[in-house]
Amino acid sequence: MANDANHLHTKAIHGGLDPAAHRGAVSVPIYQSSTFAFPSAEEGAARFAGTSPGPIYTRMGNPTVQALESCVADLEEGCGAIATATGMAAISTVFLALLRNGDHVVCTDPLYGATRTLLTRYFSRLGVTSTFVPATDNAALAAAIRPETRLIYVETPANPTLDLVDLAAASAIARAAVIPLVVDNTFAGPHLQRPITLGADVVLHSMTKSLNGHSDVIAGIVIARDPAMLAVLRDAAIMFGMTIDPHQSWLVLRGIRTLGMRVERAQQNAIAIARWLEQHEEVAWVRFPGLPSHPQFDLAQRQMSGPGSVIAFELRGGTEAGRILMNSVRMITLAVSLGGVESLIEHPSSMTHKGVPVEEQRRQGITAGLVRLSAGCEDLDDLLADLAQALACVAVASPPRPRVSA
């Protein structure tokens, strides 16, 4: 049925599901089995040879996992996907599959803190070097390429500043250099941005976020444009044991069925909250791709079908005001992560990006007082009321400071 779907809501609901393949089940069953029986020795040999598609062993493939992979690959318009145990397993799979001793990777800044740490602390031990350039600077991206560069890795919108990478421009740079372009599409997701259609070779997600959407699963996925790349990535994921388990897969697949509705509701809330924050006297600046004040608003309009649900902002009172705000919210949850049905608030400098040196944080625009808010699906009036009472606590405790630009 998914093969006949042209629209994202339909793909999300029907993707990966073929009732005829599962005894008529309209929900893909959980195939909670580590291994699968062969009807004959000849069939077992054929499966290991790759000439028969039947399952062998769950680390190598599982019907529930395959349903999830098919669904997300369809949403991202790739040729296939590899579901992994975590988002970091997805990132590690890409690096392990595509980089070797002596290679160089160009990345945009900022990145999720653990991604940067993985390259600078661990892959550097394996002889892989990295260059980080501003997400907004296409010229710097092109200039950073060396003869030994084997990968361009970007994240857009960037975590946590919401800077954008021009994916069409980055794809052109990658093609000219004959280097794969890998895009972390976690913040936008396939409902709002499809990098493969803009020229990317590989797309990855932390499915923990909006794809699952319920803050109850840790998972990741890697999607490839062409079968040759998919085979390389799948081999690495299997050999290093990065693959996901069937129950996790089923939970994520269930979450994806409501992806469009959840994302649109959360995004509506985020747009209204960002506009409200931008007018609040305690707020110094707001960074959100859906606001005309975002420096790359026009790019967001071109390459995204919506701005998403994550907002970055800073209070006039700086770090201390942000601390008071986060300690004063009553309904919004003080926790890391994003993309769930509940609204979450956190402090990147001391939390998600703590592993990035302070001087690097500042260079990337991660200020000491930056607050990241992931809008959820609650009633907007309740969210605004919670923020209003928390900002009232800030106003009582903070001396007046001049408003500054982002």
- Whether residues 92 and 206 share a domain: the answer is yes
Average pLDDT over residues 180-199: 97
Q: What's the confidence (pLDDT) of residue 2?
A: 40
- Which of 11, 47, 109, 112 is catalytic? The answer is 112
Residue-range definition of the domain harbouring residue 10: 2-30+61-256
Domain boundary among 199, 224, 256: 256
- Whether residues 316 and 344 share a domain: the answer is yes
Q: What's the confidence (pLDDT) of residue 396?
A: 87
- Whether residues 155 and 273 share a domain: the answer is no
Tens of pLDDT, residues 365-396 = 777 788 999 999 999 999 999 999 999 999 98
The CA distance from 112 to 86, in Å, is 14
Q: Is the pLDDT of residue 160 over 60?
A: yes
Q: Is the pLDDT of residue 234 over 60?
A: yes
- Which of 209, 225, 257, 265 is catalytic? The answer is 209
- Which of 74, 103, 109, 184 is catalytic? The answer is 184
- Whether residues 90 and 26 share a domain: the answer is yes
Whole-number average pLDDT of the chain: 93
Q: Is the pLDDT of residue 142 over 60?
A: yes
Q: What's the confidence (pLDDT) of residue 25?
A: 87
The CATH number given to whatever domain includes residue 174 is: 3.40.640.10
Q: Is the pLDDT of residue 52 over 60?
A: yes
Do 237 and 348 touch, CB atoms closer than 8 A? no
Residues near 188 by Cβ (< 8 Å), separated by ≥ 6?
156, 157, 304, 308
- Which of 18, 57, 59, 137 is catalytic? The answer is 59
Give me the amino acid identity at 209: K
- Angle, CA 257 vertex, CA 306 and CA 59 arms, to 5°: 110
The CATH number given to whatever domain includes residue 285 is: 3.90.1150.10
Strand blocks (E) in 16-171: 80-84, 104-109, 129-134, 149-155
For 287, 342, 345, the CA distances from 208, given in Å and listed in that order, are 23, 13, 16
Tens of pLDDT, residues 66-112 = 999 999 999 999 999 999 999 999 999 999 999 999 999 999 999 99
Q: What's the confidence (pLDDT) of residue 1?
A: 36
- Whether residues 237 and 274 share a domain: the answer is no
Q: What's the confidence (pLDDT) of residue 398?
A: 63
Q: Is the pLDDT of residue 143 over 90?
A: yes
Q: What's the confidence (pLDDT) of residue 18?
A: 85
Which pLDDT band holds residue 206 (cuts at 50, 70, 90)? very high
Q: What's the confidence (pLDDT) of residue 4?
A: 56
What's this model's pTM, rounded to 2 decimal places? 0.92
Domain boundary among 256, 287, 310: 256
112 in catalytic set: yes
Q: How many domains does the chain have?
A: 2
Tens of pLDDT, residues 243-289 = 999 999 999 999 999 999 999 999 999 999 999 999 999 999 999 99
Domain boundary among 239, 256, 273: 256
Which pLDDT band holds residue 353 (cuts at 50, 70, 90)? confident
209 in catalytic set: yes
Asked if residue 36 belongs to a domain, the reply is: no
Average pLDDT over residues 291-308: 97
